[in-house]
């Protein structure tokens, strides 16, 4: 006689443990309901384990609600987004891939390409909270500059263009 295990595998009676006879009923009657136990989210393999490595972390559903950004903070983020566009336009063509930021939490440099940094700023603007971050994998520091460097570079380009425009205006009237 052929029987099915609780997972639906066929095996002969007496082959390793008690057999569950195949029936056309519910799970309690011995038949596994295909798709009946499917979870939308992955099952936590450490659930109930006292050595759970994530035991000290908070559940996002239980996190304390942060206050929304103030108008001053929102304006700062909007200015950072505008500055980022200028920095990318000026520095992207010379091979700079993004900005490096010294993380206050982990005291390590974090390398952000232009799009990722822009996305993080927009997320902060929309949600009022920063995204979870981790250091980039093996970035080439030669392709990233600090905010201060980018700001100084943009200011230098602006000053050069302003001086050139003033020199041209002075020469055109003689």
Residue by residue, DSSP assigns 59-114 as: PGGGSPPPPPPPHHHHHHHHHHHHHHHHHHHHHGGGT--EEEEE-TTT-SEEEEEH
Q: What is the pLDDT of residue 4?
A: 43
Give the per-residue pLDDT at 97: 93
Helix, strand, coil percentages for the chain (3-state, nearest 5)? 40, 10, 45
pLDDT for 160? 95
For residue range 4-53, list pLDDT tens digits in order: 444 344 444 444 444 444 444 444 555 555 555 555 556 777 777 877 77
Task: State the pLDDT at residue 114.
Answer: 93
| pTM attached to this predicted model | 0.58
**Rounded alpha-carbon distances, angstroms, from residue 164 to 59, 94, 155, 168:** 57, 22, 14, 6
Tell me what pLDDT residue 25 has: 46
Tokens coding 75? 């304006």
4 membership: H or E segment, kind and range: strand 2-4
Task: Give pLDDT < 70 ranges for the chain.
Answer: 1-42, 56-66, 133-136, 170-174
pLDDT of residue 32: 54
What local confidence, expressed as pLDDT, does residue 11 receive? 42
Q: What are the residue boundaries of the structural domains of the chain, listed by start?
A: 1-32, 71-168
DSSP class of residue 151 equals H
% of the chain with per-residue pLDDT over 90? 39
Residue 29 is encoded by which pair of tokens?
A: 């009657």
């Amino acid at each position: 006689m052929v029987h099915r295990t609780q997972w639906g595998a066929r095996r002969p009676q007496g082959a390793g443990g008690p057999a569950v006879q195949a029936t056309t009923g519910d799970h309690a009657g011995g038949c596994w309901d295909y798709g009946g136990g499917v979870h939308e989210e992955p099952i936590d393999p450490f659930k109930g384990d006292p050595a759970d490595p994530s035991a000290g972390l908070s559940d996002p559903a239980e996190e304390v609600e942060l206050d929304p950004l103030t108008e001053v903070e929102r304006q700062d983020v909007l200015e950072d987004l505008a500055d980022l566009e200028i920095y990318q336009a000026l520095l992207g063509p010379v091979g700079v891939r993004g900005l490096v930021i010294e993380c206050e939490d982990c005291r390590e440099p974090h390398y952000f390409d232009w799009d990722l940094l822009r996305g993080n700023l927009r997320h902060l603007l929309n949600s009022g909270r920063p995204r979870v971050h981790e250091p980039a994998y093996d970035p080439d520091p030669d392709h990233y500059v600090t905010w201060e460097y980018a700001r100084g570079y943009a200011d230098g380009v602006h000053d050069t263009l302003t001086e050139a425009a003033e020199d041209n205006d002075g020469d055109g009237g003689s």
